[in-house]
Amino acid sequence: MTWKGVFPALTTKFTPDDKLDFKTFERNLEAQLEAGVNGIIIGGTLGESSVLSSQEKEELLSFTIEKVGGRVPVVLNIAEGATRDAVKIASSARRNGISALMLLPPMRYKSDHHETVTYFKAVAESTDLQIMIYNNPIDYKVDVTLDMFEELTVCRNIDAVKESTRDVVNVTRMINKFGDRFKVLSGVDTLALESLIMGAHGWVAGLVCAFPRETVAIYDLVMQGKVKEALEINRWFMPLLELDTYSKLVQYIKLAEAEVGLGTEIVRAPRLVLSGTERTEVLHIIREAIKTRPTLSTTTTGKKKSIIAAN
DSSP state of 18: S
Tell me the average pLDDT of the chain: 95
In angstroms, rounded to a whole number, what is the distance separating the alpha carbons of residues 200 and 163? 9
* pLDDT tens column, 123-139: 999 999 999 999 999 99
Task: Give the number of other Cβ atoms within 10 Å of residue 213's Cβ.
Answer: 19
18-40 CB burial, b ≥16 within 10 A, e <16: eebbbebbeebbebbbebbbbbb
Return the half-sphere exposure (C-beta side, CA atoms, 13 A cut-off) of residue 82. Answer: 4
DSSP state of 9: B
Q: Does the pLDDT value for residue 301 go beyond 60?
A: no
Q: Which residues contact 141 (CB under 8 A, 6 or more apart)?
A: 110
Largest CA distance in the chain: 54
pLDDT, average across residues 43-62: 94
Residue 215's pLDDT is 98
Residue 299's pLDDT is 58
Handedness of CA 107, 110, 111, 113 (dihedral sign): positive
Q: Is the pTM of this model over 0.85?
A: yes
CATH number for the domain running over 5-309: 3.20.20.70
Q: Does the pLDDT value for residue 255 go beyond 70?
A: yes
The CA-atom distances, in angstroms, between 213 and each of 79, 115, 210 are 29, 40, 9
Question: By three-state DSSP, how is residue 8 classified?
Answer: strand
Angle at 287 between CA 283 and CA 291, to 5 degrees: 170
Q: Does the pLDDT value for residue 302 go beyond 60?
A: no
Q: How confident is the model at residue 311 (pLDDT cuts 50, 70, 90)?
A: very low
In angstroms, rounded to a whole number, what is the distance separating the alpha carbons of residues 41 and 300? 24
* pLDDT tens column, 82-112: 999 999 999 999 888 999 999 999 999 999 9
* pLDDT tens column, 63-72: 999 999 999 9
306 pairs with which residues across the strands?
Answer: 299
The CA-atom distances, in angstroms, between 290 and each of 20, 29, 208, 260 are 28, 20, 14, 8
In angstroms, rounded to a whole number, what is the distance separating the alpha carbons of residues 130 and 197? 25
Q: How confident is the model at residue 300 (pLDDT cuts 50, 70, 90)?
A: very low
In angstroms, rounded to a whole number, what is the distance separating the alpha carbons of residues 80 and 46? 16
Residue 19's pLDDT is 98
Find the DSSP H helices in 158-226. 169-178, 192-197, 212-223
Residue 30's nearest CA partner among 20, 21, 40 is: 40
Residue 309's pLDDT is 66
Task: Give the number of other Cβ atoms within 10 Å of residue 95's Cβ.
Answer: 7
Task: Give the number of other Cβ atoms within 10 Å of residue 59's Cβ.
Answer: 14
Q: Which residues contact 15 (CB under 8 A, 6 or more apart)?
A: 21, 266
